[in-house]
Amino acid sequence: MIIIMNANATQQQIDNVEKKLFEIGFKTHPIYGDVKTVIGAIGDKRLLSTHDISSMPGVEALVPIMKPYKLAGKELKREATIVKVRDVEIGGKDIVVMAGPCAIENEENYIQAAIKVKEAGAKILRGGAFKPRTSPYAFQGLEEEGLKIMAKAREHTGLALVTEVVDTRDVELIASYTDIIQVGARNMQNFKLLHEVGLTNKAILLKRGLAATIEEWLMAAEYIMAAGNQNIILCERGIRTYETATRNTIDMGAIPVVKELSHLPIVVDPSHASGTWKYVNALSKGAIATGADGLIIEVHLDPCNALCDGPQSLKPSKYTELMNELRPVAQAVGRNL
């Protein structure tokens, strides 16, 4: 970290800042310029959490050198993380597609949808049992009954499962059924929930918050990792902008940025990003071409009658078409699908 002193900072103020940093546990190296003095401070920035150097007299600014996300960032681990879920590897050469309905509605339809997405090449089955809906009057999910149906679908198809947790009190229950725990966009900065899923040994699908910067998203991953769980898959699912033509605005630029800043795998959710099934195909291709490690796509047997997110859900036939069209795109960027 570098502390930039004001041009008119006194020697006493410079000494006071150095003394304070030394007391906290930093080594300091002042550099006296013609106009300004800067102090190089070497130590763990976390030591600063209870001290406010920036408001000391004579201080102009604090400039961090290390990224604040130590575990999620590449400064301490350069090689890509591959998250293993049953026999599926996310973050390796294979593009992994997760697919299934937004919510589990009943056993028969869910298992049917699971069979269809598996036939078309999905490796992981999605489904919501606890639904974070904007309206309290909308379908909230089948809860544990839904988890039981998911487990049956896994028995039937062999597909690994991903489902969302919305409450710290349900983490243990959900972990006992699922293979991947999803933390949804609305909970990306629910720090208690992040800590709690960090205590499990399940892979975590961490969706980007509706208005989260990439740094905030990586800091959310850091919370999970700091609690002990390193198996995180990031998921870009669109952010809020002034544009209303799509439900959210997909941030394709986040894919190469995350790849540069973090060793964690990243997948893209074109369904929630667009809100419209018609755009899912193009956005999926774009995501793979841009370097995503996978996709999570909503598929419903009968989107018109879906209890949740029907307008953005693909029919199984459209999903199969998409998977076939994605293969050459994956190959073009050196990946398998």
- Residue among 146 and 184 whose Cβ is closer to ligand PEP: 184
Tokens of 49: 């959490």
- Residue among 86 and 133 whose Cβ is closer to Mn ion: 133
Q: Which residue has the tokens 């699912």?
A: 237
Q: Is 262 helix (H, G, I), strand (E, B) or coil?
A: strand
Rounded least distance, CB 272 to ligand PEP, Å: 4
Rounded least distance, CB 100 to ligand PEP, Å: 10
Q: Which residue has the tokens 């459209």?
A: 318
Window 203 to 262, contacts with ligand PEP (CB under 6 A): 207, 237
Give which of 117, 133, 135 is closest to 125, Cα–Cα.
117
The binding site for Mn ion (CB under 5 A) comprises 102, 309
- Residue among 116 and 272 whose Cβ is closer to ligand PEP: 272
Distance of CA 295 to the CA centre of its chain: 12
Instruction: Identify whether the C-beta of residue 123 lies closer than 8 Å to the C-beta of residue 98.
Output: yes
Of the residues 91, 184, 294, 316, which one makes contact with ligand PEP according to CB under 6 A: 184
DSSP string, 129-166: SS---SSTTS----THHHHHHHHHHHHHH--EEEEEE-
Contact window for ligand PEP (CB under 6 A) among 44-52, 137-145, 184-192, 214-222 = 184-192
Decide if residue 318 touches ligand PEP (CB under 6 A): no
Give φ, ψ of 21 to 5 degrees: -60, -40
Q: Which residue has the tokens 């400039």?
A: 63
* Terminal-residue alpha carbon distance, the chain: 44
- Residue among 1 and 197 whose Cβ is closer to ligand PEP: 197
Residue 40 contacts by C-beta under 8 Å, 6 or more apart in sequence?
A: 1, 2, 28, 29, 30, 31
- Residue among 128 and 198 whose Cβ is closer to ligand PEP: 128
Contact window for ligand PEP (CB under 6 A) among 104-112, 134-142, 182-190, 196-204 = 182-190
Of the residues 247, 272, 300, 335, which one makes contact with ligand PEP according to CB under 6 A: 272
- Residue among 102 and 117 whose Cβ is closer to Mn ion: 102
Decide if residue 300 touches ligand PEP (CB under 6 A): no
Return the one option of Mn ion, ligand PEP, none that residue 237 interacts with (CB less than 5 to 8 A, by type).
Answer: ligand PEP
Tokens of 281: 């195909």
Distance CA 22, CA 43 (A): 10
Rounded least distance, CB 316 to ligand PEP, Å: 18
- Residue among 92 and 132 whose Cβ is closer to Mn ion: 132
Rounded least distance, CB 217 to ligand PEP, Å: 12
Q: How many residues line the site for ligand PEP (CB under 6 A)? A: 10
Instruction: Identify whether the C-beta of residue 330 lies closer than 8 Å to the C-beta of residue 303.
Output: no
Give which of 282, 289, 291 is closest to 314, Cα–Cα.
282
Return the one option of Mn ion, ligand PEP, none that residue 184 interacts with (CB less than 5 to 8 A, by type).
Answer: ligand PEP
Q: Is 85 helix (H, G, I), strand (E, B) or coil?
A: strand
Decide if residue 128 touches ligand PEP (CB under 6 A): yes
Residues forming contacts to ligand PEP in the complex (CB under 6 A) are 102, 128, 132, 184-186, 207, 237, 269, 272
